[in-house]
Amino acid sequence: MTGIVYLSQAPADAQSTSVDVALGYPRDGVDVGGGIHCTPAQSRTYRHAQVIQHPTLLQWAYPVDAINSPVISPVVLATAVVLDTTWFPASPITGQIE
């Protein structure tokens, strides 16, 4: 995953809010195809992406993808990095499936 890393949460949250506004979030969901759907208000999308806090460091990252990158400042976008595995630690398997 690629993200813009910040040393405090406030600018990461500001980036998130900026992208949400540019992409028109929050917005109600849209029914696709047939079947039973909940009301648009119940399928409301509030954010494009969530700010991620590093599990051990005082760092926060805002994910960058093909949808939100066009609305992020080119200067800020240039600082995007690949988030290494320390951002997403996985627990080892402690048992076997029988």
pLDDT in tens, 35-90: 778 887 788 888 999 999 999 999 999 999 999 999 999 999 999 999 999 998 86
Rounded Cα distance, 76 and 11, in Å: 11
Q: What H or E segment, with its residue span, contains residue 5?
A: strand 2-6
Read off the pLDDT of residues 5-38 as tens digits, 9 standing for 90 and up. 999 999 999 999 999 999 999 988 877 777 778 8
Residue 53 burial (CB < 10 Å; 0-12/13-18/19+)?
A: middle
What is the pLDDT confidence band of residue 93, given thresholds at 50, 70 and 90? Answer: low
pLDDT at 91 (0 to 100): 62
Place of tokens 């080119």: 74
Rounded Cα distance, 41 and 38, in Å: 8
Q: What global pTM score does this model have?
A: 0.80
